[in-house]
Amino acid sequence: MKNSIVKRIFVYIKNYRLLVLLSLILAAITVALSLYIPILTGDGVDMLIGKGNVDFKGLFGKIFVIISCVILMALCQWLMSHLNNRITFGVVKDIREDIFEKIQKLPIRYIDSKAYGDIVNRVISDVDTFADGLLMGFTQFFTGVLTIVGTLVFMLVTNVPIALVVVCITPVSFLVAKFISGRTFSLFKEQSVIKAKQTALTEEVISNEKVVKCFSKENDFIEKFEDINENLKQVSAKAIFYSSLTNPCTRFVNSLVYAGVGIFGALLAISGGISVGRLSCFLSYANQYTKPFNEISGVITELQNALACAGRIFEILDEKSEIPDDAGALSLSKVEGYVELKDVNFHYLEDKPLIEHLNLNVKPGMRVAIVGPTGCGKTTLINLLMRFYDVCEGRVSVDGHDIRNVTRHSLRDNFGMVLQETWLQEGTIRDNIRMGRPEATDEEVVDAAKKSHAHSFIRRLPKGYDTVIGEDGGALSQGQKQLLCIARIMLSLPPMLILDEATSSIDTMTEQRIQNAFKLMMEGRTSFIVAHRLSTIRESDVIIVMRDGHIVEQGNHDELLSKKGFYAQMYNSQYSQI
């Protein structure tokens, strides 16, 4: 699994291969200079021959070259750090764009089945953790590997016996690294999953804090949070424990290498097999050789965390996208509004059918009200009309065209929706009303606001139509947000309308005025009205009464009352006490 994740990461890195090549060249230069400096230092030591016998001219020359190398090495490290940052955050930018684009292409079924906090955690937190690990990988991993290889080559060229001492001890470091990485990956992956649960719970509670307080559930959610937090503490403690073994274990191996070089080198120096300067050079190499093992071991721990997060990111990218429009899909234009549902079957779960053998014919300009108890399939029917979900069997057609053979964009462009749940974007009031028709003039925007009875409260805002509102409407009341959503549809006026409890958050007096505005808006337009308050749909041309996914009654208000059936029971239950 880890290998496949690494391969996919390299696919993103390939877009920056020129920068990676430059970074590697700079890393090689840095390593070469860092390896050359001990040789110069060793030569300098050998120039200190004895009291009164020092080659000052040669020594000053070596010092000048060492200083030059240090300056050049610092410059290369700075440039390399700059390039590594560009590569890392370029890759992260590409991944974030891909995952956000993927979310827009995922079917509504997937979004509905996942906690929003979990998805947000993958896009933000997991990508940040991945970025940290990737940056450490570029900054330390490649340089460390080059240092190890370069140092070993230099030591073999200079003195083979001492180099063999280093080579014999080196496998201990690899065994330590393998032991640690094998245990940290699964723990860091589990840690990411628990963090996502924590984010989801936090988002859920904060967004519904009023409901939590209303039902005095604060302590219940505190207990839930504490359970998740305790679980996260346990897993994080284990992950940190294993990752914390890295430094002491590698330092122990480093000490073994340094001691081995020191003892063996000292014996060689006594016997005249190596000069003191060369021995000092080897001791410097021993430090340089073992230091990257510390860094790489630390990087491996971070990379395990990064790979675990990358795996969660790629899980979303690997999800099946919404079925794309056919290559020859029709683009709807000049829609009359004839809608037909023929023998439609639909289920969210395989073993739990929701809608069975549903048939419906709606002629252009008809006002169709959909009523029924909670869970009967009203909103599901709207989802099928908008093709948020595809039918399992049967067909839904608009003007005789199966909507599966029509582009989603053109289908949804011909529907105007006002939902019970409002949604407004951060921006001005004017921009929010213009969402469906960006080219609309200011006069048209004001006219739509007047028709929806939003104009009066907009004028009272600090900057009127230019008032900037925050995410999801900011400080506006639920009713005011609903009026803006209605104004948005008043402005675009598509040939077909869907009003799903569109006036649920509006006071009775304003509702009466908006119902009059809706009458004007619905003239000549095919309209589907989902309502619980049956008084709002009396004048509908057809009222469809749904129960358990079936149409049990159909007719206008008076006809259905005269039948004294299920609709009459619902109507009388609402008005029996009036």
Segment 191-245, tens digit of pLDDT: 878 887 888 788 778 767 767 777 777 888 888 888 888 888 888 888 778 777 7
Neighbours of 43 (CB within 10 A): 20
pLDDT computed for residue 15 by the predictor: 86
Q: Which domain holds residue 446?
A: 339-575
Contact residues for 219 (Cβ-Cβ < 8 A; gap 6+):
none
Residue 508 tokens, joined: 């009775």
- What is the distance between the alpha carbons of residues 286 and 38, in angstroms, rounded to a whole number? 11
Looking at the structure, tell me whether residues 168 and 282 fall in a common domain. yes
Looking at the structure, tell me whether residues 311 and 355 fall in a common domain. no
161-175 pLDDT per residue, tens: 777 777 777 677 667
Of 260, 249, 250, 276, the closest CA to residue 166 belongs to 260
DSSP 406: B
What CATH number is associated with residue 487?
A: 3.40.50.300
Report yes or no on 95 lying in a domain. yes
Report yes or no on 323 lying in a domain. no
Helix (H) / strand (E) containing 483: helix 478-492
> Lowest-pLDDT range, 181-185, 341-345, 360-364?
181-185
Looking at the structure, tell me whether residues 281 and 358 fall in a common domain. no
Tally the residues of the chain: 578
Evaluate whether 34 touches 77 at the Cβ level (below 8 Å): no
Report yes or no on 115 lying in a domain. yes
Looking at the structure, tell me whether residues 344 and 386 fall in a common domain. yes
Looking at the structure, tell me whether residues 273 and 390 fall in a common domain. no
pLDDT computed for residue 75 by the predictor: 94
pLDDT computed for residue 396 by the predictor: 92
pLDDT computed for residue 535 by the predictor: 67
pLDDT computed for residue 155 by the predictor: 74
Evaluate whether 540 touches 372 at the Cβ level (below 8 Å): no
Looking at the structure, tell me whether residues 165 and 231 fall in a common domain. yes
Domain boundary among 282, 317, 352: 317
The total of structural domains in the chain comes to 2
What CATH number is associated with residue 194?
A: 1.20.1560.10
Residue 113 tokens, joined: 């089945």
Q: Look over the chain and give the mean of its residue pLDDT values, rounded to a whole number.
A: 80
Looking at the structure, tell me whether residues 402 and 441 fall in a common domain. yes
Which amino acid belongs to residue 222? I
At residue 79 the predicted structure's pLDDT band, cuts being 50, 70 and 90, is: very high
Domain boundary among 257, 283, 317: 317
- What is the distance between the alpha carbons of residues 76 and 70, in angstroms, rounded to a whole number? 10
Looking at the structure, tell me whether residues 380 and 287 fall in a common domain. no
Report yes or no on 333 lying in a domain. no
Looking at the structure, tell me whether residues 356 and 388 fall in a common domain. yes
Report yes or no on 25 lying in a domain. yes
Domain boundary among 317, 351, 380: 317
Name the residue with higher pLDDT: 400 or 165. Answer: 400
Report yes or no on 326 lying in a domain. no
Asked if residue 52 has pLDDT above 70, the reply is: no
Q: Is the pTM of this model over 0.75?
A: no
Report yes or no on 330 lying in a domain. no
Contact residues for 429 (Cβ-Cβ < 8 A; gap 6+):
458, 461, 464, 465, 466, 467, 469, 484
Percent of the chain, pLDDT > 90? 4
Looking at the structure, tell me whether residues 284 and 375 fall in a common domain. no
Asked if residue 38 has pLDDT above 70, the reply is: yes
Looking at the structure, tell me whether residues 13 and 135 fall in a common domain. yes
Name the residue with higher pLDDT: 538 or 576. Answer: 538
Looking at the structure, tell me whether residues 490 and 554 fall in a common domain. yes
Report yes or no on 322 lying in a domain. no
